């Protein structure tokens, strides 16, 4: 009997040991805000679009500002002499005479005559490639490089041209410089205003998305709040989720903007020797926003991601305060 009891005891012990590994695994807790839902996916798309437009606007403002600065520097260091054709005028001799007269004045570093080929190329976008400038009364140009620290007396140069070259005129580009500076400042101001509007739209979008997410999980949030969960704990759950959502959307939009600038820069480099490329380069440079522009895109992505998280955090706190206010009014 004892042996049989021992055998049953051993069998029972073995059965318990075999049953132990079958204990129920601990249940995984679900997040308050679902990681993947319709609101989250839509918000990623909206933030990506907003970030893309913001980065493109920022890059365009940077491009215009840098190009305007280059224009201003070039214009402030150069002046242009224009000689109009006239009956009996030897244009080549007149160009040499005008260059010699201008080069004698102090403050003039150098003079450069725009040759016939370069002149035809300047007119090619408007008059075509089969242009013979000898058959047209085309003015010729001389570029005068001036010393910014000690500029020449432009009025004296104009007076020196009058007796020998009555068809010559000197343009010091001062009017264009003033207009260029005003245009650049206006463009930068408009760009900053557009950026502010886009960031404001992003904030409003995040507010509505947060409200929608909280409405879908409102019963859970209210239960957690009523049983003693701190507002900071609940807000932190939304903060994490919306930070990831904001950074993901901002990164997608930022990468898209960088791709656009790289494509335009590649197109510009491929069309350097064409009239279209020359005109685009004259207006916008080489479409390269530089290291400052790319750094600005990275900062824009970080700012929009952080702004998304901060906006959702503030919205959650305000929502929970509204619940407390309603409970206080009922009591």
- 267 Cβ neighbours under 8 A, 6+ residues apart: 287
Instruction: Work out the average pLDDT over 127-137.
Output: 75
Mark whether 241 and 303 lie in a shared domain.
yes
CA 104 from centre of chain: 47
Structure confidence at residue 9 (pLDDT): 46
- Domain membership flag for residue 208: yes
* 2 has pLDDT over 60: no
Residue 10: is its pLDDT beyond 80?
A: no
Separation of alpha carbons 325 and 37, rounded Å: 30
Q: Under DSSP, is residue 171 helix (H, G, I), strand (E, B) or coil?
A: strand
For residue 288, pLDDT beyond 70: no
Residue 213 is predicted with a pLDDT of 66
CA dihedral in degrees (188, 193, 196, 198; nearest 10)? -100
The predicted pLDDT at position 19 comes to 45
Vertex 45 angle, CA 44 and 48, to 5°: 85
* Cα-only R_g, the chain: 36
User: Based on the domain organization, do 91 and 141 belong to the same domain?
Assistant: yes
CA pair distance 216, 241, nearest whole angstrom: 15
- For residue 72, the tally of other CB atoms under 10 A from its CB is 16
- In 3D, which of 64, 65, 74 has the Cα closest to residue 173? 74
> What is the residue range of 106's domain?
85-166
Does residue 67 fall inside a structural domain?
A: yes
pLDDT of res. 251: 92
Average pLDDT over residues 50-71: 82
Task: Round to whole Å and give the CA distance between 102 and 81.
Answer: 9
pLDDT score, position 81: 92
Residues 195 and 101 in one domain: no
Is the pLDDT score of 206 beyond 90? no
Same-domain check for residues 250 and 150: no
**Binning pLDDT at 50, 70 and 90, where does residue 40 land?**
low
Q: What angle do CA 211, 214, 217 make, to 5 degrees?
A: 155
Non-local (6+) Cβ contacts of 181 within 8 A are 68, 72
Rounded-to-integer distance, Cα 50 and Cα 41, Å: 14
> How many CB atoms sit inside 10 A of residue 197's CB?
13
- Please tell me whether residues 66 and 140 are part of one structural domain: no
The closest alpha carbon to 85, from 73, 93, 77, belongs to: 93
How far apart, in whole angstroms, are the C-alpha atoms of residue 313 and residue 152? 63
Q: How many domains does the chain have?
A: 2
Q: Cα separation of 211 and 4, whole Å?
A: 70
State whether 116 and 238 are in the same domain: no
Same domain, yes or no, for 97 and 51?
Answer: no
Looking at residue 331, its pLDDT comes to 60
Residue 169 sits at φ, ψ, to 5 deg, of -140, 145
What is the rounded CA–CA span in Å between residue 119 and residue 141? 8
Question: Would 126 be classed as within a structural domain?
Answer: yes
């Amino acid at each position: 009997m004892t042996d049989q009891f021992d055998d049953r005891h051993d069998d029972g012990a073995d059965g318990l040991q075999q049953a132990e590994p079958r204990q129920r695994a601990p249940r995984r807790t679900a997040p308050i805000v679902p990681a993947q839902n319709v609101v989250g996916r839509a918000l990623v798309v909206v933030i990506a679009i907003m970030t893309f437009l913001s980065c493109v606007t920022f890059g365009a403002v940077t491009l215009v500002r840098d190009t305007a600065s280059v224009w201003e520097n070039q214009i402030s260091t150069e002046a242009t002499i224009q000689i109009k054709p006239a009956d009996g005028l030897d244009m080549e001799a007149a160009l040499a005479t005008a260059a010699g007269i201008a080069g004698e004045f102090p403050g003039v570093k150098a003079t450069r005559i725009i040759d016939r080929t370069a002149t035809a190329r300047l007119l090619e976008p408007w008059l075509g490639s089969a242009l013979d400038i000898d058959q047209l009364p085309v003015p010729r140009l001389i570029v005068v490089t001036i010393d910014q620290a000690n500029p020449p007396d432009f009025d004296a140069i104009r007076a020196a041209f009058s007796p020998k070259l009555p068809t010559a005129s000197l343009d010091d580009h001062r009017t264009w410089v003033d207009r260029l500076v005003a245009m650049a400042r206006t463009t930068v101001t408009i760009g900053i205003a557009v950026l502010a509007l886009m960031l404001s739209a992003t904030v409003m979008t995040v507010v509505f998305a947060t409200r929608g997410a909280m409405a879908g999980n409102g019963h859970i949030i209210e239960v957690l709040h009523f049983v003693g969960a701190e507002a900071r704990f609940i807000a932190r759950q939304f903060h994490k989720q919306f930070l990831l959502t904001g950074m993901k959307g901002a990164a997608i939009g930022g990468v898209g903007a960088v791709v656009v600038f790289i494509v335009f820069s590649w197109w510009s480099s491929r069309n350097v020797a064409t009239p279209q490329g020359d005109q685009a380069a004259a207006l916008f440079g080489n479409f390269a926003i530089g290291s400052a522009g790319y750094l600005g895109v990275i900062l824009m992505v970080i700012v929009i991601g952080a702004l998304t998280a901060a906006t959702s955090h503030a919205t959650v706190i305000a929502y929970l305060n509204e619940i407390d206010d309603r409970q206080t009014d009922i009591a």
